Amino acid sequence: MSDVAIVGGGVIGLACAFELARRGSSVTVLEREEPGFGASTVAAGMLTPSFEVELTPQSLVELQLDSLRRYPQFIREIEAAGGRSCGYRDEGSLWVSRHRDDELQLDHILRIQQQRGLPARRLTGREVRALEPYVSPRAVGGLLVESDHQVDSRKLVPALRAACEAIGVDVRTGTGVATVERAAGAMELTCQHGGVTSPFHADQVLLAAGVWLEEGLVTPLPKIGMRPIKGQIVHLQGQRLVRHVIRNSDVYLVPRDGGRLLIGATEEEQGFDMNPTAGGTLDLLRFGFEVLPGIYDLDIAEIDVGLRPTFHDHMPVLGATTTDGIYMASGHYRGGVLLAAATAHWMAEIMLTGQAPSEIEPFNFRRFVADQTQQEAAS
């Protein structure tokens, strides 16, 4: 019996567990695989608000900026509690343009950054190469966004787990949850661990199961259309070529410690398939080679595949659901790492006070249920 049972030990589940435990709740995290399986440890870890302003609702941009502001404190608390580094880096990202279309895009991103009060600086091709000499000589310009920081998601997840466990969170790996239901005044979960099924009870349940939210998990909730968006990301290894994240409209290249360079990422509607493909790898390598020819001689260390949990409006669900005692923090799509700090803060607020502040209201669960009711009424 815990105050809170969290289904899913990814970045979102662990971040919420940490914040709830910090505020005094007893918390158990139930993770079917290993922490971060699915999307969290595959993520590139860039802490970058959306620049596709036409495509991103203002409420989500505000949440991203809110999370970005919370991030330094979030990292400090995790590292202080658990003693493990999150791999935080602040070199910024460098957009590189290849032609006039790219140049227009960089002007556009510059305006967005300025509107948000975030620093950004346009560069000539010569300035780009002065900053990062391995960038292709074909680069005609650039945009340096020094506020784009990053974490190493493969460090963040173990750091979060260590922080959780240091303050008393019970993190159970290899523990799947088959059912969640209300029973005798509390929530009852059916857990499966090593072939053994056993019940678990908690006052509140938080669903943070990523793409598996509606796959193999039975709850009283209506289905709201969670689907996976597959992402492939190639890990190269060798000589360190760049210090900044290098980006253009086709690809990003993210340097990590120890000579690791990530090239990401595809976005594919392929169901739950997690195999690397020829086409995905081909695209990432050729776009990466175009902007940073020096990758040619790097070793391929691995081809990683993740599944981004996505609702049809590409916005997460944060808050209460249609069943008392069941909460949801899911559907973070490409933004789980960036949004983890805000998600943890606001979910703790909602679950401990019962109040959803107005800025979180756009992410309510009922927006999908209302859709369904309207559709049913119309049909």
| Minimum gap (Å) between residue 272 Cβ and a second copy | 14
Cα–Cα distance measured from residue 279 to residue 358, given in angstroms and rounded to the nearest whole number: 43
DSSP 8-state symbol, 21: H
| Minimum gap (Å) between residue 298 Cβ and a second copy | 5
Q: Which is nearer to a second copy, 72 or 279 (CB)?
A: 279
Q: Which is nearer to a second copy, 134 or 289 (CB)?
A: 289
| Minimum gap (Å) between residue 267 Cβ and a second copy | 15
| Minimum gap (Å) between residue 109 Cβ and a second copy | 27
DSSP 8-state symbol, 222: P
Cα–Cα distance measured from residue 363 to residue 60, given in angstroms and rounded to the nearest whole number: 9
DSSP 44-92: --EE-----TTTS-HHHHHHHHHHHHHHHHHHHHHHHHH------B---
Summarize as ranges the residues that interact with a second copy (CB under 8 A): 234, 236, 275-279, 281-282, 285-286, 288-289, 295-300, 303
Q: Which is nearer to a second copy, 239 or 373 (CB)?
A: 239
Q: Which is nearer to a second copy, 65 or 300 (CB)?
A: 300
Q: Which is nearer to a second copy, 220 or 294 (CB)?
A: 294
Residue 153's nearest CA partner among 51, 231, 248 is 231
* φ, ψ of residue 57 in degrees (nearest 5): -60, 145
DSSP 174-218: TEEEEEEEEETTEEEEEEEETTEEEEEEEEEEEE--GGGGGSS-B
| Minimum gap (Å) between residue 300 Cβ and a second copy | 5
DSSP 304-349: EEEEEEE-TTS--EEEE-SSTTEEEEE--GGGHHHHHHHHHHHHHH
| Minimum gap (Å) between residue 263 Cβ and a second copy | 8
Residue 18, classed as helix, strand or coil, is helix
Q: Which is nearer to a second copy, 145 or 234 (CB)?
A: 234
Q: Which is nearer to a second copy, 209 or 298 (CB)?
A: 298
- 349-370 b/e with 16+ CB inside 10 Å = b? bbbbeeebeeebebbbbeebbe
Q: Which is nearer to a second copy, 252 or 327 (CB)?
A: 252
| Minimum gap (Å) between residue 233 Cβ and a second copy | 13
Cβ atoms within 10 A of the Cβ of 90, count?
11
Axis crossing angle, helix 11-22 with helix 58-82, rounded to the nearest 10: 70
Q: Which is nearer to a second copy, 114 or 275 (CB)?
A: 275
| Minimum gap (Å) between residue 305 Cβ and a second copy | 10
Bridge partners (DSSP) listed for residue 95: 143, 247
| Minimum gap (Å) between residue 234 Cβ and a second copy | 7
Residue type, 271: G
CA count, 13 A, side-chain hemisphere, 24: 3
